[in-house]
Amino acid sequence: MTDVVQNPATTHEHSRTGLSADALRRGVVDHLRYDDPFLVVADYASYVECQDRVSAAWRDIPTWTRMSILNTARSGKSRRTARSGSTATTSGTSGR
């Protein structure tokens, strides 16, 4: 007969739910497997691939710096475009 040693980290009860860590984990896994309205699991592989590309760009300081500067410059243009479009809409003109 083998003695079963329980891991205290997984057998303690959660203070609010009274469920063990294993039961909570099972609930999360079941929710993601059978009821995933935000498609977290369905899109996870592409998320990981994208995060790998972001991490590689972050390690390449000149590339990251260039991307950051361009992104910042483009965001100002977007705000000006949105602001001029909303003024044109409220004034009844085409904005051109």
Cβ partners under 8 Å of residue 9, min gap 6? 21
Chunked into runs of 10 residues, the chain (96 residues) has average pLDDT values of 49 68 88 85 91 96 95 80 61 54
Residue 62: strand, helix, or coil: helix
Which residue from 75, 78, 71, 76 is spatially nearest to 63, judged by alpha carbons?
71
Predicted confidence at residue 9, as pLDDT, reads 52
Q: Does a structural domain hold residue 5?
A: no
Predicted confidence at residue 76, as pLDDT, reads 80
Domain of 58, in residue numbers = 41-75
Predicted confidence at residue 6, as pLDDT, reads 52
Q: Does a structural domain hold residue 36?
A: no
Cβ partners under 8 Å of residue 36, min gap 6? 42
Q: Does a structural domain hold residue 2?
A: no
Q: Does a structural domain hold residue 94?
A: no
Predicted confidence at residue 49, as pLDDT, reads 96
Burial class (CB in 10 A: 0-12, 13-18, 19+), 20: middle
Q: How many domains does the chain have?
A: 1
Predicted confidence at residue 21, as pLDDT, reads 87
Predicted confidence at residue 77, as pLDDT, reads 72
DSSP 76-89: HHHHHHHHHHHHHH
